[in-house]
Amino acid sequence: RQMCVTLCFFIIARVTTIKLNDGDDNVFGLSNGAQAFFETGLLGALITTIVASIMWQLVASSFPMAFLSTPFTYVLLRWCLFLEWTGLCQGSWVFAMILRKIVGYKRDEVYIGTAEERTAKSAAKNSAEP
């Protein structure tokens, strides 16, 4: 869902961005400040936030059974659960991979050893104690 909302966010921001040529009048005769706001793409962000995100949450919370009982919602839910199960869409994996490349992190086994090595070390330490 978040990926879909983000995609909608960028597409609508691109579509609703109004860039005028030099010498053109402002849209609807508005002030230069309002025209500068239209050129940023934030109008698309506002529309996306209201329509693509909040509206569906309100519908789902008001009519949960009607919302969840449609066949399309069931298929979409199954697809989303499958994607979540794969872990492909989890940003923490990407962030961890970038940090590993930048900082040079190594696997835990390099620092603390494998479970077997730790068990052997603990057993040796316990047998050495009087």
31-56 pLDDT per residue, tens: 888 888 878 877 777 777 777 677 77
Given a cut of 80, is residue 118 above it in pLDDT? Answer: yes
Q: Give the per-residue pLDDT at 130.
A: 64
Residue 90 has pLDDT above 80, yes or no: no
Please state, for a pLDDT cut of 70, what percent of the chain lies above it.
95
DSSP letter at 21? P
Q: By CB neighbour count within 10 A (0-12 exposed, 13-18 middle, 19+ buried), where does 12 fall?
A: buried
Q: What's the rounded Cα separation, in Å, for the pair 32 and 46?
A: 20
Kindly indicate the confidence band of residue 102, based on its pLDDT and cuts at 50, 70 and 90: very high
For residues 83-98, average pLDDT: 80
For residue 1, pLDDT over 70 is answered with no
List the structure tokens of 128.
Answer: 């050495």
In terms of Cβ atoms closer than 10 Å to its own Cβ (0-12, 13-18, 19+), residue 16 is middle
Sequence-ordered strand ranges (E) for the chain: none
